[in-house]
Amino acid sequence: MWNIFKKAAFKFFGNSLDFLVKYFEDIKEDLEKSGLQISLHEYVYIMIFCTFLTFIIEFPLFAFIAGLFFPPIFAFFISLTTSIVICLGIFFFFYTYPAFLTSKRAKEIEAALPFVSIYLSSLAASGMPPASMFKLLSEFKEYKEVSKEAYKIWRDIDYFGMSIDQAIRKAVLKTPSKEFKEMLLGLLSVLSSGVDLTNYFMQKSKEFMSLYRRKLESFSKTLTLLVEIYLTLITVGSIFFIVLSVVMSAFSPGSAETLLLIQFFIVFLLLPLISIGFIIGIRLLSPGM
């Protein structure tokens, strides 16, 4: 999909947007750690192309729809404003997407680290060289993002002829996880000092397990608070408003249609949207995202 948009963007704009790339240097690091495997130059072109394409498609469509209900000038301004707002949303999505992916990868790596370190300690206990350990780890797909990081280290060693130290140092610069970075830096120190790898990975597994347990406890408390807020403010509040509106409609028959419309909006639009927002928020806060 990225290749399709990339080709279309460069075909449409040529090299006319090169001067804009320097203004997006702040997302370069997140882009490199996101796993998208796309350069900043290409990403900027795709971002601007998708934003422009959205405007080209939606503005005439909204103008046509608004023209059926409003005067031409009013319909023009409504469609223009709506299109600009949506395009800004598209642009913001692209701008923050690398950071979101980087954070997501970091969480997945850190959730697997307690078990990865135990696995590595068992491999080290068998006397396996560190390079072969990363090769086996890369083939263990259950560890997902950690397996991808391990594959990059093995690839640099096997295909590009790097030493184990060089490959690990490169991985340290590219990994999105601070904890995995610290483990790799510790591994470099162990390899240079000749300390037993088995003991090192066993010690790291205890540290990672303790840290992961604290994250789960913190998430459990946050989840309890969010559930209480949801039940109190959203569910009970909505029921209370609906009951109150029914009582009010009995005393004011003329406002019954308006209250019914508000009830419909709350039950079929507001509540589902808030519930989806809560689900997404909980998912983002989860340490094992």
Last residue of one domain, picked from the residues 212, 237, 256: 212
Tell whether the model's pLDDT for residue 255 goes beyond 60.
yes
Tell whether the model's pLDDT for residue 171 goes beyond 60.
yes
175: nearest Cα among 187, 183, 165, 164: 183
* 203-218 mean pLDDT: 87
Q: Which domain covers residue 169, as residue numbers?
A: 107-212
Per-residue pLDDT, 265: 75
Considering the domain architecture, whether residues 175 and 257 belong to the same structural domain is answered as: no
Tell whether the model's pLDDT for residue 213 goes beyond 60.
yes
Number of domains the chain is built from: 3
- Report the percentage of the chain scoring pLDDT > 70: 95
pTM of the model: 0.76
Q: 115 or 2, which is more confident?
A: 115
Per-residue pLDDT, 166: 93
Considering the domain architecture, whether residues 100 and 115 belong to the same structural domain is answered as: no
